[in-house]
Structure 1
Amino acid sequence: MFNNLKLGVKLNLLLAAILLLLMITIGATLSIVIQGYAEEVVTEKALLLIETMNSVRNYTSTQVNPELASRLETEELFLPQTVPAYSSREVFEYLRNSDRYRNFFYKEATLNPTNLRDKADSFEAEIINSFRNDSQQQQQGFRNIPGGEIFYIARPLSVTKESCLRCHGSPEEAPASLLATYGTDNGFGWKLNEIVGAQVISVPASQVLEDARRLRLLVVGKILIFLVLAVVLLNVFLKFVITNPINEMSHLSKKLSMGDLDVEFEQKSNDEIGILAASLNRLKASLKIAMEMLDSK
């Protein structure tokens, strides 16, 4: 069936197959590249915020806590400002007051926290237990929540200083203000070097990923338009440079075969089509000479 098609149709089928292959290849490549770029963007946002929170923790631990530690025994209520986890969480909540960061979340999720707002949910508890079971220092990935898709980064939190056990060792050794504020049921029994929680930061990824998908469609669409235009121009070129001259020579060859020796194959170029026209003209001249020789006998 393919052999019965005209040359123009065959060429267009070939171009269509090439175009389809190019679009599949370009689409797949763009999908990988743009998806990778989108993930890099949200990862950079998350890393910047988590390092900022670590700076707040260090500031609280090295400058705020030493100034207020002595008051923990004399105050009626506990001073949470001495706790790095509290300070970082409060700073982040101020950040979330901005519309730009309203859907960003930060939590120092703990299995057995003093403040129950830091209690790990099932997803966070799974992360903490995975940190306990192996030596990895970071987990990251995407997860779906009712508000859309988010990207999270989690790092283990462990008891690295003996001073932490003052508030989290046993209730008998804890400051009176801590017991007065939070009671004796939660946040005790921690051990030195034990992983007790995870520092989790979540940034919205839905918009970034959607922008990446739109960009991919836009780029693919523009490339498709360019390729279709190239196919149209190529078809015009083939029509005037190859198809039309061949059709004309085919028509003249038919007339020549029927005895019309006045036909002239027009040679407009020196390419393969021009060489074919010159050959047909020589063939016509030879045929004319042969016919004249036959008539003279």
Structure 2
Amino acid sequence: MGLRLKFNIILAVCYLLGLSLSIYPFYQISRQEAMDQLQSQIDVLRAQALSIRRYTSEEIQPLLAEHSSVQFLPQTIPSFSAQTAFRNFRGFYPQFFYKEAALNPTNPADLARDWEREVIEKLRANSDLTKDVSFQTIDSRSHYTATYPLVIKDESCLTCHSTPDRAPPSMVALYGNKNGFGWKLNETIGAQIISVPMDIAEGSIWRNLGLFVGTSSVIFLVLLILLNILLNRYVISPVTRMAKTAEAVSMGDASVAEFEFPGSDEIASLSRSFNRMRRSLDSALKMLEK
């Protein structure tokens, strides 16, 4: 096995070792960046939903207050407005998911199901928890899901949700008297659930990882070629010439010129030592001939 091959094998092993040690941290960093991007998307969607809720409560409710006393209008309910707007939004971006789920909702469509109930119970058990992050399967796709507690902060909400006799008759007529009652002030009655698909983020992670491996491999190959050129010029070529000179001298050819390699590095020092050894050998042979 030649010196060049040994050198290249050592470099390749070092590269593969370094690459294997760096892939996992790079993957984790890329994944965290992707999660941060997903969370940023959720923050925007939540801000949009909160804006719709606020607009409904501050603008729509007062405007339709007189009509609501005669006929219950779901459009005046912030939760209904936000979810309706988001259903329209999903017409453009169906991969996103938004729901204001409750354990005991007035509208049966808002009833928490399966994992939604588990998340709400988790928020109810810990009043200090302002957000829960999980990964859920929605429409056969993995989603990054952020859940925020819906807490009764306004006592006016209890007008419709304490007991059926206090609620507007038109609301009871529309939704019945079985659901959406018994709520209490400062109680977590549900959760605002926002989900964005993971596959886009995962695709970005693997693209970045592939780009990292590909770029580092190209850089390694370029450096390997340059190092081989330098190795050949400053190490292999001088050593090969020195070996040929030594072989010729060992065969008794005294006409071979001395090997000269300028500089002060190890190869130059070796060449000078070799030449001194050769001159000493020539002197010894001449003394023996006498």
TM-score range, shorter chain: over 0.9
Which residue in the other structure is 1:13 paired with? 9
Aligned counterpart in structure 1 of residue 105 of structure 2, from 105, 113, 132:
113
Q: Secondary structure at the match of 1:266?
A: coil
Which residue in the other structure is 1:159 paired with? 152
Deviation at 1:202, TM superposition (A): 0.9
Conservation of the 8 A alpha-carbon contact between 2:132 and 2:148: yes
Q: How does 1:47-66 map to 2 (within 5 A)?
A: 47-66=43-62
Would you say how many aligned residue pairs link Structure 1 and Structure 2? 288
Are residues 1:210 and 2:203 paired?
Answer: yes
Deviation at 1:196, TM superposition (A): 0.5
Instruction: Give the counterpart letter for 1:183 in structure 2.
Output: G
Aligned counterpart in structure 2 of residue 44 of structure 1, from 32, 40, 48:
40
Are residues 1:31 and 2:24 paired?
Answer: no
Instruction: Give the counterpart letter for 2:276 in structure 1.
Output: R
C-alpha distance in structure 1 between counterparts of 2:239 and 2:289, whole Å: 32
Which residue in the other structure is 1:191 paired with? 184
- Could you list the runs of 5+ residues in structure 1 that have no partner in the other structure? none
Are residues 1:292 and 2:286 paired?
Answer: yes
Conservation of the 8 A alpha-carbon contact between 1:245 and 1:273: yes
Relative to structure 1, the CA distance from residue 146 to residue 67 in structure 2 (aligned partners, 3 Å threshold; closer, same or farther) is closer
Conservation of the 8 A alpha-carbon contact between 2:238 and 2:261: no
Deviation at 1:22, TM superposition (A): 2.1
- Could you list the runs of 5+ residues in structure 2 that have no partner in the other structure? none
Identity %: 36
C-alpha distance in structure 2 between counterparts of 1:107 and 1:158, whole Å: 15
Q: Secondary structure at the match of 2:146?
A: strand
Q: How does 1:1-297 map to 2 (within 5 A)?
A: 5-75=1-71, 78-98=72-92, 101-134=93-126, 135-270=128-263, 271-296=265-290
Deviation at 1:212, TM superposition (A): 2.1
Q: What CA RMSD, in Å, does the superposition of the two structures yield over aligned residues?
A: 1.7
Conservation of the 8 A alpha-carbon contact between 2:83 and 2:99: yes
Relative to structure 1, the CA distance from residue 178 to residue 208 in structure 2 (aligned partners, 3 Å threshold; closer, same or farther) is same
Conservation of the 8 A alpha-carbon contact between 1:249 and 1:265: no
Question: Cα deviations across residues 199-253 of structure 1 (Å, max 9, x unaligned)?
Answer: 0011122122212212210221121122023223322322332123212212322
Structure-2-length-normalised TM-score: 0.93
Deviation at 1:21, TM superposition (A): 1.5
Conservation of the 8 A alpha-carbon contact between 2:245 and 2:259: no
Q: Secondary structure at the match of 1:172?
A: coil
